Structure 1
Amino acid sequence: MMKAATLQSPPEWVNQRYYEIQATESGSVVEEEVDDDFKVTIREGLKIGIGAFTVYIIIAMAIIIL
């Protein structure tokens, strides 16, 4: 038989640290400029799509056969 897991309250320092973190203001968020280096051409997109479709077909056929 499996024992039932009993939940225990965390130690006081855990609760205190949690509320300290929640109370502090988050520092200023630095946002980086996006250079938009990731551009996919139509030809590359077509290659990716055909590759994904091929992998899907291979996996589906393997599942059907096995």
Structure 2
Amino acid sequence: MSEKWLRSSRSGSVGNCVEVARCADVTLIRDSKQPHGARLRVSPERWRGFLDLVGSDHWHHS
């Protein structure tokens, strides 16, 4: 499987970030500092749910 790894444009040039590769039936997640290390595999639905949760007001406290 040939993955195209992406990182957020907000991660800057430090290199300490999470990278994501979207495949047909799975989303892969890895640590940019260890590109050949362990990877998390989640369904596209779980990844979308995570992004929705992070983008929601759920984590914002007044």
TM-score normalised per structure 2: 0.30
Q: Relative CO higher for 1 or 2, CA cutoff 8 Å, sep ≥ 6?
A: 2
Q: Which has the higher strand share?
A: 2
Q: Which has the higher helix share?
A: 1
TM-score normalised per structure 1: 0.29
